[in-house]
């Protein structure tokens, strides 16, 4: 079940965090297709992987682990993907330093000879990444993209064409497709439109009208989410010096609202997306006033936050992991919140009514109270006893 077999070797791969109930594999047909292409087929020779190899958007480290022998650099927006890569390298006996782990916020290697791109779900993230990578490729760089056919659209190919050079696609195999691109160093690309900002509407309390910053690919980068909008109108009243966690902070709008309502609150902004934490920091700094302190942390939920050190956790949990709908992340976020809270501390959650978070919260906290609701959303409050 966990074994990926290629001519490079056989790999035992898992997702992060490992969950025995999770039957999902750590790679898919798009990863296999790319690896098979690099190994060479009847018609194509093996790819020359002797130069600087960069792997972008590898979901669970399957590509980086299989290619560890050529000491690639991995570029990802996801802390969970980085953790999965570390775990999979270790499980497969690879030298942990074989893969250089870079986030999307860091500068790519100066010169890239082989650029392998797992097409991300977000076209905006692809656009931003291609803008950042393009100055580092040269006319001889081998560029191969991969994705499931449902992830590759005409707009995806147009981006490659517009930002890197002439682009064509392969035949589909097991519903996956490859993208081949010949870089044109003289292409006029224009400038990267990311990050973008927008002003909040006038009915969201203390943050009404403020401008929020959004790096590419983050949740609701173009406009405020309707659930978040409802949450902003029902946040707890300010309560003196308290430590507040904006868990899964996205662009930081929720934590910034608390900071503006309560000058004594100290906010911890945390998310597993590097782009999100950078956005939250920009939003907070632009609106909270000079000298206001806050902590910005990329990580998995609240893991690593010492137990009993937080007074209030605010959370709009995700209910998708890549294409799959799941409440696994919400459950882990709630459990992490319970551990990080001090006795008497509170977790406030916004969710779609149909997700039934009150049941999960009752199981984890022993209590859950309805604070506000409309036909679509509920705001729930659980207290750590
Ligand atoms: C529904 S969005 C909410 C964003 C923001 N709080 C808002 O309301 O606009 C959920 C956020 O959780 C983040 N996330 C997903 N899994 C996570 C994890 N394991 N640890 C921390 N954050 C995570 C996502 O990157 C995303 O920014």
How does pLDDT run across 164-190, given as a tens digit for each residue? 999 999 999 999 999 999 999 999 999
The two structure tokens encoding residue 94: 């690879």
Classify domain 3-183 at the CATH superfamily level.
Vaccinia Virus protein VP39 (3.40.50.150)
Backbone angles phi, psi at 167, to 5 degrees: -130, 140
How does pLDDT run across 334-374, given as a tens digit for each residue?
999 999 999 999 999 999 999 999 999 999 999 999 999 99
DSSP of 109-174: PSSEEEEEEE--S-HHHHHHHHHHHGGGEEEEEEEEEEEEGGG--HHHHHHHHHHTEEEEE---BT
Backbone angles phi, psi at 65, to 5 degrees: -70, -45
For the CA of 273, the nearest atom of ligand 1? 25
The sign of the torsion formed by the CA atoms of 88, 92, 93, 95 equals negative
The two structure tokens encoding residue 321: 């992991």
Of all protein residues, the one whose alpha carbon is nearest to atom 24 of ligand 1 is: 248
For the CA of 248, the nearest atom of ligand 1? 12
Q: Read off the pLDDT band of 7 (50, 70, 90).
A: confident
How does pLDDT run across 223-252, given as a tens digit for each residue?
999 999 999 999 999 889 999 999 999 999
Number of CB atoms found within 10 A of residue 183's CB: 22
CATH number belonging to the domain at 196-383, selected among 3.40.50.970, 3.40.50.700, 3.40.50.150, 3.40.50.11540: 3.40.50.150
Q: What pLDDT was estimated at residue 79?
A: 98
Q: What pLDDT was estimated at residue 227?
A: 97
Assess whether pLDDT exceeds 70 at residue 163: yes
Q: Read off the pLDDT band of 259 (50, 70, 90).
A: very high
Residues in the chain: 385
Q: Verify whether ligand 1 is closer than 6 Å to residue 254 (CB atom).
A: yes
Q: Where in the chain is CATH 3.40.50.150?
A: 3-183, 196-383
Site of tokens 């890239």: 112
Specify the pTM. Answer: 0.97
Spacing of C-alpha 13 from chain mean position: 20
How does pLDDT run across 272-286, given as a tens digit for each residue?
999 999 999 999 999
Number of CB atoms found within 10 A of residue 29's CB: 17
Q: What pLDDT was estimated at residue 344?
A: 98
DSSP of 89-118: HHHTT--GGGSEEEETTSPPPSSEEEEEEE
Average pLDDT of the chain is: 96
Backbone angles phi, psi at 176, to 5 degrees: -120, 160
Q: What pLDDT was estimated at residue 8?
A: 81
Q: What pLDDT was estimated at residue 322?
A: 58
CA of 292 to the centre of ligand 1 (A): 23
Q: Verify whether ligand 1 is closer than 6 Å to residue 346 (CB atom).
A: no
Query: Which is it for strands 324-325 and 341-352: parallel, antiparallel or unpaired?
Result: unpaired
């Amino acid at each position: 079940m966990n074994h990926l077999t290629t001519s490079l070797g056989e790999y035992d791969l898992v997702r992060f965090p490992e969950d025995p109930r999770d039957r999902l594999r750590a790679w898919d047909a798009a990863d296999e297709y790319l690896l098979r292409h690099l190994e060479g087929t009847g018609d194509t020779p093996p790819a020359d992987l002797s130069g600087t190899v960069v792997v972008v958007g590898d979901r669970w480290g399957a590509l980086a682990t299989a290619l560890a022998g050529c000491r690639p650099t991995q570029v990802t927006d996801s802390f969970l993907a980085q953790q999965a890569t570390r775990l999979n390298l270790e499980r497969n006996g690879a030298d942990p330093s074989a893969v250089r782990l870079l986030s999307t916020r860091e500068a790519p290697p100066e010169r890239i000879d082989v650029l392998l791109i797992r097409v991300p779900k977000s076209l905006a993230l692809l656009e931003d990444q291609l803008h950042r990578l393009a100055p580092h490729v040269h006319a001889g760089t081998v560029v191969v993209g991969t994705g499931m056919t449902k992830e590759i659209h005409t707009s995806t190919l147009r981006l490659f064409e517009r930002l890197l050079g002439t682009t064509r696609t392969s035949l589909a195999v097991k519903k996956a497709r490859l993208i081949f691109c010949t870089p044109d160093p003289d292409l006029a690309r224009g400038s990267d439109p990311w990050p973008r900002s927008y002003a909040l509407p006038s009915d969201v309390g203390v943050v009404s009208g403020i401008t929020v910053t959004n790096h590419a690919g983050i949740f609701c980068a173009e406009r405020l989410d309707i659930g978040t909008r409802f949450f902003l109108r029902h946040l707890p009243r300010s309560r003196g010096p308290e430590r507040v966690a904006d868990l899964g902070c996205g662009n930081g709008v929720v934590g910034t609202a608390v900071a503006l309502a309560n000058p004594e609150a100290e906010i911890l902004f945390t998310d597993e997306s590097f782009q999100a934490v950078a956005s939250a920091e920009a939003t907070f700094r632009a609106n909270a006033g000079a000298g206001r302190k806050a902590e910005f942390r990329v990580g998995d939920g609240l893991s690593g936050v010492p137990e009993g050190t937080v007074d209030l956790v605010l959370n709009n949990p995700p209910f998708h992991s890549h294409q799959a709908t799941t409440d696994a992340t919400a459950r882990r976020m709630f459990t992490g919140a319970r551990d990080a809270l001090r006795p008497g501390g509170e977790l406030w959650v916004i969710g779609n009514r149909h997700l039934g978070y009150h049941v999960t919260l009752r199981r984890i906290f022993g209590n859950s109270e309805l604070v506000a609701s409309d036909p679509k959303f509920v705001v729930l409050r659980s207290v750590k006893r």
